[in-house]
Amino acid sequence: MADAAPPHPMRFPLDHPLTERVRGICLPYPEAAEVPAHGRSTFRAGKRQFAIVGAAHDDAGAVEFIPDDLERPVLLEREDVFVPPYEGAYGWLAIRVEADAGDWELLAELIDTSYRQVALQRQLRALDGG
């Protein structure tokens, strides 16, 4: 019997430069883990996602994150930020980046905010050195 094809082909495989660069930002967080899901790499603090490489049904480079509520309107004024399908209904946003282009300093800040939104208190204490 032949092996079944994976249910979701990886749009940004584990060795894709965009995935590798996002991994470098996400995995240093306390208890962060990378979990492939629905054809994309997701990064989680415990069980809760805080970053996703790629936006669903979009082959352009993008990273999804959970914004601070106060920053959301300002972020949506940017041309490189959009409401992604599916996760957008739950408050997520996405920013267009490529492995070698885009506002990576901003992305690192957005991922930090996103992590802090879902992290447990012990993870936040470990992050902040408390």
Domain extent for 63: 17-127
DSSP character string of 41-107:
EEEEETTEEEEEES-TT--S-EEEE---TTTHHHHHTSTTEEPPTTGGGGT-EEEE-BTTBS-HHHH
Q: Would 80 be classed as within a structural domain? A: yes
| d(C-alpha 46, C-alpha 30), whole Å | 9
Average model confidence (pLDDT) for the chain?
89
| d(C-alpha 110, C-alpha 122), whole Å | 21
Q: What is the pLDDT of residue 82?
A: 94
| d(C-alpha 10, C-alpha 49), whole Å | 18
Q: Would 8 be classed as within a structural domain? A: no
| CATH code for position 22 | 3.90.1150.30
- Split into its structural domains, the chain has a count of 1
- pLDDT band with cut points at 50, 70 and 90 for residue 126: very high
Say whether pTM exceeds 0.85: yes
With a CB cutoff of 8 Å and minimum separation 6, the contacts of 121 are none
- pLDDT band with cut points at 50, 70 and 90 for residue 2: low
The rounded Cα 83 to chain-centroid distance in angstroms is: 13
| pLDDT tens-digit map of 32-54 | 999 998 888 999 999 999 999 98
| d(C-alpha 45, C-alpha 9), whole Å | 24
pLDDT greater than 60 at residue 128: yes
| pLDDT tens-digit map of 53-84 | 988 666 678 999 999 999 999 999 999 999 99
Beta bridge partners of 41: 36
Q: Would 35 be classed as within a structural domain? A: yes
Q: What is the pLDDT of residue 56?
A: 67
Q: What is the pLDDT of residue 3?
A: 54
